[in-house]
Each structure stands twice: as C-alpha cells, then as structure tokens.
Structure 1
Amino acid sequence: MYLQKSDYQIRIRRNLLDVLLENIAGVDPGNPTPGDILEAADKIASDTIATKAGVLYDIDGELAKTGDNRNGYIISQALSIAIYELYQRTDDYDIPDKVIKNYNDTINILDEVSRGKEPLNLPPKPSGDNGENNDGEHVSSSGFGLRRLGSAKKRSHRI
C-alpha cells in the first residue's frame, strides 16, 4: 500500500476517518474490514495516478516506495482520490464540498500531467527502444519535466 493510515491525518481527522470506515464496513461479518477498505481506496488512487502519470513518468518506482522516501506531491494526489473514494459509500449530501473539489482538482492536474503540461519531480518513463530513434516516435529519457514528443522535424520556412 502506498498510502498509510497515518497519511490520512493530513486531510481528515482520525476520529472522522474511523467513523467513516465503520459506517462503510457495517456490522455484517461478510463486509470488508476497515483495513480492506483503506487498501481498496489506496489501490484505486494508485491505479488512477499510474494510468495518468505513467504516460510520461516512471511512476511504478514511486508507488513501490514506503515511509519518508515517498514523494509528498504524489501522496497529496493519492489522498484526494482515496478520500473521495471512501465517501462514495455515503449519501451524496454527506460528501464535503472540499472533498469533491480536491478530487476534481487532482484529476484535472493528472490530466495535465498526462498531456505533458504539468511536470512532476519523477524520472521520465524509459522509452521502449532503449533510446533508439528508429521509428520517429522517440521519447527523450533524459532529465525531468516536460519533453517534446513527435515524429516530424520542426518545419522551416526557407526555400
């Protein structure tokens, strides 16, 4: 699990998180435990981030990290998604507006990341051809941040 239960204290009070988890888990023996619920929310958050940021960045290494080695920005994005997912089992009017706003902002940021408009402080995704520029679709694998993708050379207007 990328997110730890202690990470949630950044965004939600511990007692509120416990009440939310108990309400979701219920009292039926067949229902998932609070730990299972947190694990499922973490998986949804990690998969969402990996799907969107994994287009340009090597996100798998980051999601495998634990403790203080993790990227704080990615933790923040994962928390926004995970908390929103936890609230999905409650009534719509019980979901705080800031939870919805944080989730929407996070998804918008991740969309920008996937398009190369928003940089992340993560290593770039290695190109599948080991840096060879053989098919015109080369992804530069040096440095951080935005990279130019393309198959055609820049046009010049000289005759």
Structure 2
Amino acid sequence: MILRRVARPLLAAIFVSGGIETLRNPKPHIQAAEPVLDRTVGRVRDKLPAQLPTDPESLVKLDAAVKIGAGTALGLGRFPRLAALLLAGSLVPTTAAAHRYWEYEDPQERAAQQVHFLKNLGLLGGLMLAASDTHGKPSVAWRTKRAARKATEKVQDAADSVRSIMPG
C-alpha cells in the first residue's frame, strides 16, 4: 500500500538522522545519559555479564547504531515490525535520558524539553502502530486460533465417524 511506503520512511528518518548525529558527536548524548545510566545500569552492573557494555559511551554508541540500523530497515520496509519494536525499545531510554523536562528551572528550557518529550511520545505511538501493522493480513494470534479451531473440528469429525461405525 502506498501509505506504508510513504509513512515508514517518514517515521524512520528522524532515527537514522539522530543516530548518525550521535555517532558524529557523542559527547552531549553521553553527558545526558550518564545520570540516568548511573541510577539504572549502575545499580545492576555487578549482576550483568562482563561482556555486556555498561559504560555510557558504549551504550550511547550502541543506541545510535540501533537507531541507524533499525531506522534504515523500517524506512526500506525490511522487517518493519521488528525494526519498529527495536526503535521503540531504543526511544524510551533515550527520552528518559535526554528530555527530563521536570528537572529544568528555566521556564523556556523546561517548555522546550517538554515539547521534545511529547514529540518522542508521539513517535513512540507511531512506532507502536508500525509494530502492530500486519499489512492487512491476519495476525499470528488470529491464524493460530483459527488453525486450532479447524483442528478441533477435524478431530470432532473423526471422533463422530468412529462413533458411527462402532457397535452399540
């Protein structure tokens, strides 16, 4: 459908652009992420596998790579539901780290950060729609229930056939 071919790249563009910008200039993103990472990852760092990066620089760059990769996939219509889920999973911590508007005292800066926060919520809504889009085809859950119902009907028909030929 033409709507999907237009909407997906429009939705994906901000993630690809933001991911590239973050890789080119990671310092402000790292500084924004550090307080949130200290309160979250810092509490469980000793319980995580040693191979898992926990430092702010690695996590910010990993997040940027996810945004570029998943954003590109979404924009091209390749695995769009998975790409949208990855972007949604990436957007939540990014929003929590970068747009904590309630912490700002200056009314103008607070309002600007609130706009970014709400914009990201809107993007999250769009990603949720993209993640649930089945291209007009029935969902896996619907197909599974339908297959189970048909299988039950066939078993019932077979049981009725056996009963009809059984004596007494």
Fold equivalence (TM over 0.5): no
1 or 2, which has the higher helix percentage? 2
TM-score by length of 1: 0.34
Q: Please say which structure displays the higher CA radius of gyration.
A: 2
